[in-house]
């Protein structure tokens, strides 16, 4: 991609134009600082607050999104690295009328307390069930090990994943 080497703000900082597809819609975003993360772009420039900003070091999984069909932490992806990429955030999961089955399962199982970790866990669960529709408990734990929840103790989250798997 071309960095906006010739486009500089009043402090001489380079600014970039980024083109990518987010939740099925092509987006062109201007004035991006080259050192910012995909998470910052989503939350602060596109108004998509679903992916949460917590640790900014990949420890908590709250900012999990799908980047070209791969589960990643949006805080660890450079904005410029997603030029031309396809991104799915939690906002892109539900249909017009219904929630995504995984979202519904989290609600039905009572797996949401404060809700801060929920978007990341739902994205990670969708990713798991796409590759493994009937995971064992240890497979669920392994797949969700990168997502921290400080409220629930994870029992209800496990219930929600089992429920989503059982409903197919």
Partner 1 sequence: MDFFRPQSLQDALKLKSEYPKALCINGGTDVMVELNFDRKRPEVLLDLSAVPELSNWSDEGDSISLGAGVTYTRIYEELAKELPGLAMASRTVGSLQIRNKGGVGGNLGSASPAGDAHPALLATGASVIVANITGRRAIDINGFYLGPKKSALQPDEIIISILIPKAKGGQEFSKIGTRNAMVIAVTSFGIAIDASAQSVGTGIGSAGPTPLRAYEAEKYAAENLDWDSYTPVSVVVMKEFGGLVAAAAKPIDDVRGTAAYRRHTLSVVSARCLKWSWQKTSEMKMGRP
Neighbours of 17 (CB within 10 A): 15
Nearer to partner 1, 7 or 99 (CB): 7
Rule CB under 8 A: say whether 145 interacts with partner 1.
yes
CA 109 to chain centre: 21
CA distance 124 to 115: 15
Residue 156 sits at φ, ψ, to 5 deg, of: -70, -30
**Pick from 9, 19, 30, 35: which binds partner 1 (CB under 8 A)?**
35
**Pick from 59, 108, 130, 137: which binds partner 1 (CB under 8 A)?**
59
Kindly state the smallest distance separating residue 36's Cβ from partner 1, in Å: 8
Give the per-residue contact string, 121-140, with partner 1 (x = CB under 8 A; - = no). Answer: ---x--x-------------
Strand, coil or helix: 91: helix
Strand, coil or helix: 29: strand
Neighbours of 15 (CB within 10 A): 16
- Strands, sheet with 86-88, edge to edge from the N-terminal-most edge strand: 25-32, 16-22, 86-88, 64-67, 70-73
Nearer to partner 1, 69 or 96 (CB): 69
CA distance 50 to 47: 9
Kindly state the smallest distance separating residue 89's Cβ from partner 1, in Å: 14
Kindly state the smallest distance separating residue 96's Cβ from partner 1, in Å: 29
CA distance 59 to 62: 9
**Pick from 20, 22, 23, 37: which binds partner 1 (CB under 8 A)?**
37
Nearer to partner 1, 70 or 95 (CB): 70
Kindly state the smallest distance separating residue 105's Cβ from partner 1, in Å: 20
Residues lying near partner 1 in the complex (CB under 8 A) are found at 1, 3, 5, 13-14, 16, 33-35, 37, 56-59, 61, 64, 70-73, 75-78, 80-81, 83, 124, 127, 142-143, 145-147
């Amino acid at each position: 991609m071309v960095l906006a080497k010739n486009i500089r703000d009043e402090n001489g900082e380079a600014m970039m134009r980024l083109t990518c597809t987010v939740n099925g819609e092509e987006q062109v975003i201007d004035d991006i600082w080259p050192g910012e993360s995909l998470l910052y772009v989503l939350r602060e420039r596109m108004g998509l607050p679903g992916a949460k900003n917590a640790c900014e070091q990949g420890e908590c999984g709250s900012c999990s999104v799908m980047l070209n069909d791969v589960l990643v932490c949006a805080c660890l992806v450079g904005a410029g690295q997603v030029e031309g990429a396809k991104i799915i955030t939690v906002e892109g999961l539900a249909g017009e009328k219904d929630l995504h089955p995984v979202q519904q399962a989290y609600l039905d199982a009572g797996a949401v307390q404060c809700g801060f970790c929920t978007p990341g866990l739902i994205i990670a669960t969708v990713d798991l069930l796409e590759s493994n529709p009937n995971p064992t408990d240890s497979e669920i734990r392994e797949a969700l090990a990168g997502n921290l929840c400080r409220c629930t103790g994870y029992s209800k989250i496990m219930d929600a994943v089992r429920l989503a798997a059982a409903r197919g």
